[in-house]
């Protein structure tokens, strides 16, 4: 126990001793990561809210129940839904292709944990056939799978849709130990599958268990049923992928945690998620100051060069466009992404991904960006109780008057009638910013059209992009389509369409964002 003299001395220097002690606590804790891991008294006071018991009751309850916060991964296998895209060379022999393709071809090591043989992943086959093989190989080893991983959330949702349509073929192939379903025609995949089956004994029985699971009416929690040892699902869940989070959560069920992956682009690693256990809506990315040189352009800056900020100068809560300088030879390059500074981790900002800047709808000089479009679609469909499997938009500026077309593929049709969809169409039309609604009111922009497309249309959209050289692992549904070919694919899936009603003046006058921006 401290002596009275020590106690008295501590009281005399109370303020500095308190600050020193706080520093010691802050250095030791991981809990404050979600508040940007403050390390100084000033940062602590500005970043960490004062809480009462009610605020921490949930965490205390979890600790009391012995619940693990985040799973430790062991030596199990990974169902890794990865694909090699097309590669080409420039005239000078420089290799051109997607980042994922480069990584897969260059680093074999991480793929040894995958349930799919490496030879299959690099076979250069079509994505549908490879997805079938990914599922087939993983299901044969279902008890060993501890992680389900893909670069983007929609890839996992897309693979499960293929399983929904093809599970009987997959089960038959497992039963017969061959690719007799005819679903896989690529010779390299066939050869790799034959090699994969060597030494795999007694697999036929697995088929019955899988068939029983897949024939369930509800696919909620299906991932844990198919892969009982799975501990984690990981994929990018932010930005355009936020749309797939409810579907992914449903497949994962309540127990299997989902972790949001890092913020990568072909230009470089833009940030990492230092808190993989963070709720998906709160995922933020910490920049990597030793990897590239970052600058931040305030949104709407008139004089980019003058107003650009260094990482330590950005302000929490503000949105910026990322500008990078890399060893690979990009100098003050605008990546095209808008991010919002959520906090600081030691001296560097942590960024929430807001939206991709260039994806905008504009037919009469108004502007609806990707984030607004996504918010509107998510909000309107949620209010109507409709599950939209995927969506995109087209600004038809050649029509007179010009107008927006929104394409929806629905997850299920039951209980959705004409009246409900008509209402959704008008709600979408009325939810955009006043730059749009004002022009609607003036009839410079015509009624909005909501087109329902048949199941599989967005899959064909992806196939089209893949045919044109996009890697399946890199493809993200474009939220605004501009290419005539993409439009043709969407139009070929058209089932029904609806036109929005008249734009009431009150909508224009009383507009305010009804959902958080960012």
Touching ligand AMP, residues 56-75 (CB under 6 A) = none
Structure token pair of residue 324: 């990078």
Looking at the Cβ atoms of 214 and 473, the one nearer to ligand AMP is 473
Looking at the Cβ atoms of 178 and 266, the one nearer to ligand AMP is 266
Count the Cβ atoms, other than its own, within 10 Å of residue 2: 9
Touching ligand AMP, residues 94-123 (CB under 6 A) = 99
**Binding segment (CB under 6 A) for ligand AMP, from list 264-272, 379-387, 396-404, 483-491:** 264-272
Q: Decide: is 483 part of the binding site for ligand AMP (CB under 6 A).
A: no
Structure token pair of residue 318: 């503000």
Looking at the Cβ atoms of 220 and 265, the one nearer to ligand AMP is 265
Residue from 265, 326, 362, 433 touching ligand AMP (CB under 6 A): that is: 265
**Binding segment (CB under 6 A) for ligand AMP, from list 125-133, 261-269, 401-409, 428-436:** 261-269
Touching ligand AMP, residues 228-247 (CB under 6 A) = 236, 238-239
Shortest distance, CB of residue 62 to ligand AMP, whole angstroms? 26
Q: In sequence order, what are the residues at sequence separation of 6 or more whose Cβ sits closer than 8 angstroms to the Cβ of residue 334?
A: 297, 321, 322, 323, 357
Tell me whether residue 211 is exposed, middle or buried, using C-beta atoms within 10 angstroms of its C-beta: 0 to 12, 13 to 18, 19 or more.
Answer: middle
Shortest distance, CB of residue 293 to ligand AMP, whole angstroms? 17
Shortest distance, CB of residue 103 to ligand AMP, whole angstroms? 11
Looking at the Cβ atoms of 99 and 445, the one nearer to ligand AMP is 99
Q: What angle do CA 44, 49, 51 make, to 5 degrees?
A: 125
Looking at the Cβ atoms of 144 and 378, the one nearer to ligand AMP is 378
Q: Decide: is 296 part of the binding site for ligand AMP (CB under 6 A).
A: no
**Binding segment (CB under 6 A) for ligand AMP, from list 19-27, 184-192, 258-266, 456-464:** 258-266
Shortest distance, CB of residue 107 to ligand AMP, whole angstroms? 17
Structure token pair of residue 493: 């899936």
Q: Residue 323 in contact with residue 335, Cβ under 8 Å?
A: yes
Rounded to whole angstroms, the Cα distance separating 432 from 508 reads 9
Rounded to whole angstroms, the Cα distance separating 6 from 292 reads 49
Residue from 335, 359, 421, 503 touching ligand AMP (CB under 6 A): that is: 335
Looking at the Cβ atoms of 264 and 498, the one nearer to ligand AMP is 264
Q: Residue 423 in contact with residue 384, Cβ under 8 Å?
A: yes
Count the Cβ atoms, other than its own, within 10 Å of residue 461: 25
ω before 278 within 30° of 0 (cis)? Answer: no
Rounded to whole angstroms, the Cα distance separating 285 from 180 reads 46
- 285-286/268-271 β-pairing: unpaired
Looking at the Cβ atoms of 115 and 474, the one nearer to ligand AMP is 474
Q: Which alpha helices (H) appear in 341-410, and where do they start and end?
A: 370-384
Shortest distance, CB of residue 358 to ligand AMP, whole angstroms? 10
Shortest distance, CB of residue 505 to ligand AMP, whole angstroms? 37
Q: Decide: is 337 part of the binding site for ligand AMP (CB under 6 A).
A: yes
Looking at the Cβ atoms of 44 and 293, the one nearer to ligand AMP is 293
Structure token pair of residue 225: 């049923």
Residues 348-367 as x/- pattern, contact with ligand AMP by CB under 6 A: -----x--x-----------
Q: Residue 266 in contact with residue 98, Cβ under 8 Å?
A: yes
Q: Decide: is 474 part of the binding site for ligand AMP (CB under 6 A).
A: yes
Structure token pair of residue 370: 């990707």
Q: Decide: is 326 part of the binding site for ligand AMP (CB under 6 A).
A: no
Shortest distance, CB of residue 260 to ligand AMP, whole angstroms? 7
Residue from 83, 154, 251, 264 touching ligand AMP (CB under 6 A): that is: 264
Structure token pair of residue 172: 């038959």
Q: What angle do CA 281, 237, 134 make, to 5 degrees?
A: 150
Shortest distance, CB of residue 283 to ligand AMP, whole angstroms? 7
HEC states along 15-35?
Answer: HHHHHHHHHHHHHHCCHHHHH
Q: Site size for ligand AMP, by CB under 6 A?
A: 14
Give the E-state strand segments of 346-421 in sequence order: 348-356, 360-361, 368-369, 388-396, 403-410
Q: Decide: is 266 part of the binding site for ligand AMP (CB under 6 A).
A: yes
- Residues near ligand AMP (CB under 6 A) are 99, 236, 238-239, 261, 263-266, 335, 337, 353, 356, 474
């Amino acid at each position: 126990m401290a002596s009275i003299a020590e106690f008295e001395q501590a009281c005399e220097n109370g303020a500095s001793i308190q600050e020193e002690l706080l520093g010691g606590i802050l250095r030791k804790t991981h809990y404050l990561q979600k508040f940007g891991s403050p390390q100084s008294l000033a940062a602590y006071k500005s970043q960490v809210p004062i809480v009462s018991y009610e605020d921490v009751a949930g965490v205390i309850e979890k600790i009391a129940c012995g619940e693990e916060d985040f799973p430790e991964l062991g030596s199990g296998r990974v169902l890794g839904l990865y694909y090699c895209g097309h590669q080409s060379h420039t005239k000078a022999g420089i290799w051109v292709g997607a980042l994922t393709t480069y990584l897969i071809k260059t680093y074999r090591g991480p793929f040894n944990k995958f349930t799919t043989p490496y030879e299959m992943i690099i076979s250069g086959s079509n994505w549908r056939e490879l997805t079938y093989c990914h599922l087939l190989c993983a299901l044969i080893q279902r008890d060993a799978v501890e992680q389900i991983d893909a670069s983007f959330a929609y890839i996992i949702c897309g693979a499960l849709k293929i399983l929904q349509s093809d599970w009987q073929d997959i089960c038959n192939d497992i039963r017969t130990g061959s690719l007799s379903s005819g679903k896989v025609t690529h010779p390299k995949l066939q050869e790799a599958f034959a090699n994969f089956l060597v030494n795999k004994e007694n697999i036929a029985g697995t088929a019955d268990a899988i068939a029983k699971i897949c024939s369930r009416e509800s696919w909620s929690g299906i991932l844990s049923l198919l892969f009982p040892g799975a501990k984690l699902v990981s994929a990018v869940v932010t930005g355009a992928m936020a749309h797939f989070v409810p579907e992914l959560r449903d497949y994962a069920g309540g127990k299997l945690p989902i972790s949001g992956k890092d913020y990568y682009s072909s230009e470089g690693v833009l940030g990492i998620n230092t808190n993989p256990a963070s709720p998906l809506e709160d995922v933020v990315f910490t920049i990597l100051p030793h990897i590239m040189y970052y600058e931040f352009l305030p949104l709407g800056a008139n004089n980019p060069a003058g107003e650009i900020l260094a990482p330590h100068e950005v302000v929490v809560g503000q949105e910026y466009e990322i500008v990078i300088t890399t060893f690979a030879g990009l100098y003050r390059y605008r990546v095209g992404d808008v991010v919002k500074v959520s906090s600081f981790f030691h001296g560097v900002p942590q960024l929430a991904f807001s939206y991709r800047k260039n994806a905008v709808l504009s037919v009469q000089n108004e502007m609806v960006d990707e984030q607004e479009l996504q918010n509107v679609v998510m909000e309107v469909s949620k209010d109507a109780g409709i599950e939209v499997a995927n969506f995109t938009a087209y600004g038809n500026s050649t029509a007179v008057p010009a107008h927006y077309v929104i394409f929806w593929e629905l997850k299920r049709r039951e209980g959705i009638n004409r009246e409900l969809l008509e209402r959704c169409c008008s709600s979408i039309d009325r939810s955009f910013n006043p730059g749009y609604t004002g022009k609607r009111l003036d009839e410079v922009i015509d009624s909005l059209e909501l087109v329902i497309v048949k199941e599989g249309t967005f899959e064909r959209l992806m196939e089209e992009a893949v045919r044109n050289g996009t890697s399946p692992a890199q493809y993200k549904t474009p939220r605004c389509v501009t290419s005539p070919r993409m439009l043709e694919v969407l139009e070929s899936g058209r089932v029904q369409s609806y036109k929005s009603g008249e734009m009431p003046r009150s909508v224009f006058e009383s507009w305010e964002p009804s959902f958080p921006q960012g």
